[in-house]
Amino acid sequence: MDFDYDLFVIGGGSGGVRAARVAAAEGAKVGLAEEYRMGGTCVIRGCVPKKLMVFASEYREMFENARSYGWDVKDGDFHWPKFQSHLASELDRLEEIYRNLLRSSDVAVHDSRARLVDPHTIELADGDKKTAKHILIATGGYPVKPDLPNADLGITSNDIFNLKELPKSILIIGGGYIACEFACILNGMGVEVVQYYRGAQILRGFDDEGRGLVADLMREKGIDLRTGTNIVEMKRASDHNPDYEGGTSSDAAMIEDHEVITRKQTSDKTGPIWVKATNGTERVFDQVLFATGRSPNTQDMGLEEAGVKLGRRHEIIVDDYSQTSAPSIYAVGDVTNRVQLTPVAIREGMAFVETVFKGNPTKPDHELIPSAIFTQPEFGTIGLTEEEARDQEPIEVYCTSFRPMQTAFAGRPDRILMKLVVSRETRKVLGCHIVSPYAGEMIQLAGIAVKMGATKEDFDRTVAVHPTMSEEIVTMKTPMRTA
């Protein structure tokens, strides 16, 4: 049978674009459909704009630190519209790079939503149908809000980059990557941040000591982090009390513990949001951000009709080679709900091409993936947490915590954590956890050693680079504890 394409990719994010380009480079005739902007979550409304916001938010502390180093630096105001317009043009530039890469790879781009008609046929939004020998679903995910009346009053990480103005106060719901990163970013930008997390400690699944230090430092830097707390009710402040006039951050701080709101209403379409928490407190915020997880983008795509099985969380079920239950259809990235990280989606896309177009069956490697949470300070991690490792085998824990030279000189109480979890039997480093400025950069490099199976003695044999923060990772001589 003749097909229009050898490969049709649905979704122009990190995984889809990489797979399309690499398959085209192998001589495949490739088409790709994207309904929104090229680049996907990572480039358009995730990693990239988030990291630029991290950079923007760090200047306030840097200016303060600079004074301790003898610089005559005046306090300045952060100008959100100026940053935002620069951010928008940077994202335009990056999107254009993605488009050019596809163009120069001879991938036919369809700026359209696409859905499956059968295991080899795709229908575009205008009704045009395309056939393909293989189809790759790389549609990513979307942020979800809890099932709560009026949850639509809140925003998600998708909206934050497009806010017309920075709120004076914000309530962030959640304790995962996105909640903690935006709590730090917005706090750095001068927004009054309150964060509710329903569990006992933020960043569930990460090393306990690291989580504890990040939480402590977030609080020390001014974030009002409330654990064991969730939202139970939300309304426009003007609906909660018709006399309400509209709020500001200072109102948000003050209106607590059932304090009565006594202002005149301005608008019921926009304006501050009244929130009630599980602990009974009531407060008003300019914005509420739900960072309560992400769900795979599988709705209304004709997947099940085409024979693609979905899991309980609406994810596409794939085998080790990213093949779905319909043999001609594969899926990579967040839509499969394996590991929701850009570089993992890219690896999965490349393994798919290796398997299907290069005749070399390749499983993407999901073992020992380094990652970083871009909180302030950052939290870099690879391998097992202390808690996971001690359930598995006898371990030694090497751990140090200290004040980094740069900010200690500026009188800041910041602390760093460096931790190695070591197998007592094989001496291998099973996990490495770093809470520190630039921990994301550090864990990338430490990750190579851990991935190679380095032992504690390999770390010890490496000479320290002095004076650095990361030298502590090779100078920890005595285990802090064994388990």
Does residue 178 bind ligand NDP (CB under 6 A)? yes
Does residue 176 bind ligand NDP (CB under 6 A)? yes
Q: ∠ CA(305), CA(306), CA(308), 5° rounding?
A: 95
Q: Hey, which residues between 114 and 153 contact ligand NDP (CB under 6 A)? A: 146
> Residues 359-398 vs ligand NDP: string with x where CB under 6 A?
------------xxxx------------------------
Burial group, residue 135, by CB count within 10 angstroms (0-12, 13-18, 19+)? buried
Beta strands in 18-158 (DSSP E): 30-33, 108-110, 114-118, 121-124, 129-137, 141-143
Residues 6+ apart with CB under 8 A from 209: 386, 399, 417, 419, 433
Strands 224-227 and 192-197: what pairing?
parallel
CB of 315 to ligand NDP, least distance (A): 13
Q: Which of 134, 258, 433, 466 is flagged as catalytic?
A: 466
Question: Of 130 and 294, which CB lies nearer to ligand NDP in the complex structure?
Answer: 294
Does residue 154 bind ligand NDP (CB under 6 A)? no
Residue 420's nearest CA partner among 438, 392, 447, 391 is 447
Q: Hey, which residues between 293 and 332 contact ligand NDP (CB under 6 A)? A: 293-294
Residue 329's nearest CA partner among 3, 7, 45, 5 is 7
Q: In what helix (H) or strand (E) does residue 220 lie, and over which residues does it extend?
A: helix 208-220
Span interacting with ligand NDP, options 167-175, 184-192, 219-227, 309-317, rule CB under 6 A: 167-175
Question: Of 53 and 356, which CB lies nearer to ligand NDP in the complex structure?
Answer: 53
Question: Of 197 and 244, which CB lies nearer to ligand NDP in the complex structure?
Answer: 197
CB of 374 to ligand NDP, least distance (A): 5
Question: Of 114 and 335, which CB lies nearer to ligand NDP in the complex structure?
Answer: 335
Q: How far is CA 298 from the centre of its chain?
A: 20
Span interacting with ligand NDP, options 112-120, 127-135, 175-183, 301-309, rule CB under 6 A: 175-183
Cα–Cα dist 230/173, whole Å:
7
- DSSP states along 140-193: -EEE---S-TTGGGSB-HHHHTT-SS--SEEEEE--SHHHHHHHHHHHHTT-EE
Cα–Cα dist 104/116, whole Å:
27
Q: Which residue is nearest to ligand NDP (CB)?
A: 176
CB of 176 to ligand NDP, least distance (A): 2
As a whole number of Å, the CA-based R_g of the chain is: 25
Q: Is 240 a catalytic residue?
A: no
Q: Hey, which residues between 183 and 212 contact ligand NDP (CB under 6 A)? A: 197-199, 204
Does residue 175 bind ligand NDP (CB under 6 A)? yes
Residues in a beta bridge with 275: 234, 283
Burial group, residue 406, by CB count within 10 angstroms (0-12, 13-18, 19+)? middle
Q: Tell me which of 329, 331, 341, 345 binds ligand NDP, using CB under 6 A.
A: 341
Question: Of 32 and 341, which CB lies nearer to ligand NDP in the complex structure?
Answer: 341
Q: Tell me which of 11, 12, 174, 447 binds ligand NDP, using CB under 6 A.
A: 174
Give me the residue label for tokens 């990280």. 341
Does residue 433 bind ligand NDP (CB under 6 A)? no
Q: Where does this chain bind ligand NDP (CB under 6 A)?
A: 146, 173-179, 181, 197-199, 204, 230, 291-294, 340-341, 371-374
Q: Which residues are catalytic?
A: 466
